[in-house]
């Protein structure tokens, strides 16, 4: 499998981070969004993030310019006809992902692997909407994708073993560490992380401690890079809710039953960093 040109479907927080990672490694990226606003938002996200990489001494400014040039933007899925690999990163809705995969299946070549960045949905259920479920995998990146080193590779019962091996090699080519897991809710990291995040929201809801003290406890007492509420703001409260809800419906484990405060904040438009306000307020 020679990969030089990659399609990324959905340029939200994760998709744009993934596009940046790919372009940084010399790959040509075709980013697909549903409208011009989505395209502009994705481009802005990549410009800002790569600017931070330059400011932090992680990237030369000439390399940043080359990286940005390797990414093209479109609203037409059909522009992916000649890509060698696709990573889908649209919002966490099985219907939306199934629709994207069914369309991609008709557009890209028969040997092309289709990867989903889903964080909690069943990759098996997504793959059955194509004629190639053996070439469908999960490729789950972590936010911020350009900084965090892990990629979870999710193989279903029908994923071809050499496809899994190729995708692991591809993740390593991107400078990531790959872990391989079967298709279970939350995979490894989210299965462990989201019960903790949900618990922190419940503690805040019950006035157990202030947001600052909850976050300080985990940062300073456990050495976590951010506290749980600041992390939820980074992930996006809507995304976190979708992940919890999906895990809860698959496992029925009360640990993952979304805390009501999360839903109330989402309804009020407090989505975290992306909307300027969540548990904290951002410029």
Active-site position among 117, 119, 120, 246: 119
Binding mask 23-52 for ligand CAA (x = CB under 6 A): --------------------------xx-x
Q: Are 155 and 164 in contact (CB under 8 A)?
A: yes
Active-site position among 122, 190, 198, 246: 190
Give the pairing type, strands 150-155 and 136-141.
antiparallel
Among 119, 122, 156, 246, binds ligand CAA (CB under 6 A): 119
CB of 148 to ligand CAA, least distance (A): 6
Enumerate residues 236-275 that contact ligand CAA by CB under 6 A: 239
16 binds ligand CAA (CB under 6 A): no
CB of 189 to ligand CAA, least distance (A): 6
Using alpha carbons only, what angle is made at residue 153 by residues 106 and 9, rounded to the nearest 5 degrees? Answer: 40
Give the pairing type, strands 85-88 and 5-9.
parallel
CB atoms near residue 67 (< 10 Å): 22
157 backbone φψ class: left, alpha, beta (φ>0; ψ -120 to 50): alpha
- How many residues bind to ligand CAA according to rule CB under 6 A? 19
Dihedral pair phi/psi, residue 91, rounded to 5°: -55, 160
Q: Are 152 and 188 in contact (CB under 8 A)?
A: yes
207 among known catalytic residues: no
146 binds ligand CAA (CB under 6 A): yes
142 binds ligand CAA (CB under 6 A): yes
Among 8, 90, 218, 235, binds ligand CAA (CB under 6 A): 235
143 among known catalytic residues: no
- Percentage helix, strand, coil for the chain under 3-state DSSP, each rounded to 5: 50, 15, 35
Which CB, 56 or 110, lies closer to ligand CAA? 56
53 binds ligand CAA (CB under 6 A): yes
- The interface region with ligand CAA, picked from 105-113, 140-148, 163-171, 215-223 by CB under 6 A, is 140-148
List 8's β-bridge partners, or say none: 31, 87
Nearest residue to ligand CAA, by Cβ distance, number only: 56
195 binds ligand CAA (CB under 6 A): no
Q: How far is CA 230 from CA 13, 216, 219, 263, in A?
A: 16, 10, 10, 17
Residue 213, C-beta contacts closer than 8 angstroms, at least 6 positions apart:
none
226 binds ligand CAA (CB under 6 A): yes
Residues involved in catalysis: 119, 140, 152, 190
Applying CB under 6 A, which residues contact ligand CAA?
Answer: 49-50, 52-53, 56, 58, 119, 142-144, 146-148, 190, 225-226, 231, 235, 239
């Amino acid at each position: 499998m020679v990969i030089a040109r990659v399609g990324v479907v959905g340029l939200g927080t994760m998709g744009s981070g993934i596009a940046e990672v790919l372009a940084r490694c010399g790959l040509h990226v075709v980013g697909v969004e549903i409208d011009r606003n989505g395209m502009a938002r994705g481009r802005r996200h990549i410009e800002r993030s790569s600017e931070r990489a330059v400011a932090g001494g992680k990237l030369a400014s000439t390399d940043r310019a080359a990286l940005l040039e390797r990414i093209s933007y479109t609203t037409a899925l059909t522009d992916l006809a000649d890509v060698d690999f696709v990573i889908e990163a649209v919002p966490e809705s099985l219907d939306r992902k199934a629709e994207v995969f069914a369309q991609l299946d008709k557009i890209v070549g028969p040997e092309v692997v289709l990867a989903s960045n889903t964080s909690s949905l069943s990759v098996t259920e997504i793959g059955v909407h194509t004629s190639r479920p053996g070439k469908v995998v999960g490729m789950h990146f972590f936010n911020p994708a350009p900084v965090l080193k892990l990629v979870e590779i999710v193989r279903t019962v029908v994923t071809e073993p050499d496809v899994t091996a190729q995708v692991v090699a591809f993740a390593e080519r991107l400078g990531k560490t790959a872990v391989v897991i079967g298709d279970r809710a939350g995979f490894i990291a989210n299965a462990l992380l989201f019960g903790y995040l949900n618990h922190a929201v419940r503690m805040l809801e019950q006035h157990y401690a202030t947001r600052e003290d909850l976050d300080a406890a985990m940062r300073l007492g456990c050495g976590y890079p951010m506290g749980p509420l600041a992390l939820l703001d980074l992930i996006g409260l809507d995304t976190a809710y979708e992940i919890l809800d999906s895990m809860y419906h698959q496992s029925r484990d009360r640990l993952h039953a979304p805390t009501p405060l999360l839903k109330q904040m989402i309804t009020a438009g407090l989505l975290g960093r992306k909307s300027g306000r969540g548990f904290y307020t951002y410029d």
